[in-house]
Amino acid sequence: MDVWMGLLGSVLVAGAAYSKRSLTVSGAAAAVVLGTLMYSLGSAAWFGTLIAFFVASTLLSKYKHKRKAAIESGYAKSGNRDAGQVAANGGLGLLLCIGSAFAPHPAWWAAFVGVMAAVTADTWATEIGGLSRTAPRSILTGRKVAPGTSGGVTALGLLATCAGGLFIG
């Protein structure tokens, strides 16, 4: 029964995200597989944590979309997530869920929550930090860098990082 519940929930969420152009076809397919496995091998808590990340992050990607559009042209990724991005954000979490299914221990859940907090923090930093009115600075050199540059941070982005991690935690 858990497989069917996971499949139904995943199809509904991925279908809605695809219809809103938040997921590509490959992203929607990957999300259905990821969500179904997460629910059927884990539980509603594992699935719900994944969905909380996805829904909140998707809403943030749509927030002030027009303002971010010019900046996002320099980003490696865009607002619609493909299978690679679904795997990057949920793949390690799925591996932890699989580990928990075959060798149950509370450490799997703790690691999963940590991973999901990290991917949420990273996503929120990009989505909110990109709205900063101050130029980002390189985390390595402290010099100003163009928005969207890997390793570029702003105070707003750092606050978003904390908020994203706390949201999942």
Average pLDDT over residues 24-37: 95
What is the tens place of the pLDDT at every residue in 40-73? Answer: 999 999 999 999 999 999 888 877 666 666 655 5
Residue 115 pLDDT grade (very low, low, confident, very high; cuts 50, 70, 90) = very high
* pLDDT score recorded for residue 77: 54
DSSP codes joined into one string, 94-132: HHHHHHHHHS--HHHHHHHHHHHHHHHHHHHHHHHHTT-
In terms of Cα–Cα distance, which of 54, 37, 169, 162 is closest to 112?
A: 169
H runs (alpha helix) in the chain: 2-19, 25-41, 44-62, 65-72, 83-102, 106-129, 155-168
Residue 149 pLDDT grade (very low, low, confident, very high; cuts 50, 70, 90) = confident
The 10 Å Cβ neighbour count of residue 22 is 22
Q: What is the SS3 assignment for 146? A: coil
* pLDDT score recorded for residue 65: 65
Residue 129 pLDDT grade (very low, low, confident, very high; cuts 50, 70, 90) = confident
Domain ranges of the chain: 51-168
* pLDDT score recorded for residue 116: 97
C-beta of residue 169 within 8 angstroms of C-beta of residue 113: yes
